Amino acid sequence: MPRPRKLRHVDRPPLLTGFKPLGIRSSELQPIDLSLDEYEAIRLADHLGLDQSEAADQMDISRSTFSRLIEQARGKVARFLVEGAHLRIGGGDVHFVGNRLQCLTCGNMFNTDFDRAVDACPSCGSTKLVDLAGGFGHGRCCRRHRRRQGR
């Protein structure tokens, strides 16, 4: 029996979940799926400039796993740029460390932790908030994960 996959830590949900060339409908493009852990690998290595050991530690995976992950992610992003495909971000066995919320009233986006509940937008006070981590199916796993880690 194979070992269960370990949840890979992702700092926060991405702001955007897809990219495509201008002027072409998504339905006319070949989709390329970039998993959330591949997205996080690109963010840590190429956007923040962390070395592979530091990035692997942040994602709670081995350096060799990170190396494979970043290679796959870079290949998909390169294919997206060269072929003009529809890049979709989502899926994968991940655990969000923090969350991002968006106010539907004023459009403000802000970061929060799962430990503290946020009921209103800090900018306008509206209670019409969208939980971006929840859009990826993230929910009660945080409480279970913290209990397992002894937090």
Tell me the CA end-to-end span of the chain in Å, nearest whole number: 30
CATH of 8-94, picked from 1.10.10, 1.20.1070, 1.20.120, 3.30.70, is: 1.10.10
CATH of 98-149, picked from 2.60.40, 2.20.28, 2.60.120, 1.10.10, is: 2.20.28
Name residue, tokens 């060269």.
Answer: 82
* 135-141 own/partner pairs: CB under 8 Å, 24+ apart: 135/13, 135/17, 136/13, 136/36, 136/90, 136/94, 136/96, 138/13, 138/94, 138/95, 138/96, 138/99, 141/7, 141/95
Q: CA-CA distance, 96 to 14, in Å (whole number)?
A: 10
CB 8 within 8 A of CB 40: yes
> Quick one: pLDDT at residue 23?
94
Q: Within the chain, which residue ranges are assigned CATH 1.10.10?
A: 8-94
> Quick one: pLDDT at residue 145?
41
Kindly tell me if the per-residue pLDDT of 148 is higher than 60.
no
> Quick one: pLDDT at residue 77?
97
Q: Within the chain, which residue ranges are assigned CATH 2.20.28?
A: 98-149
> Quick one: pLDDT at residue 134?
83
Region 52-57 average pLDDT: 97
pLDDT tens track for 88-108: 999 888 989 988 999 999 999
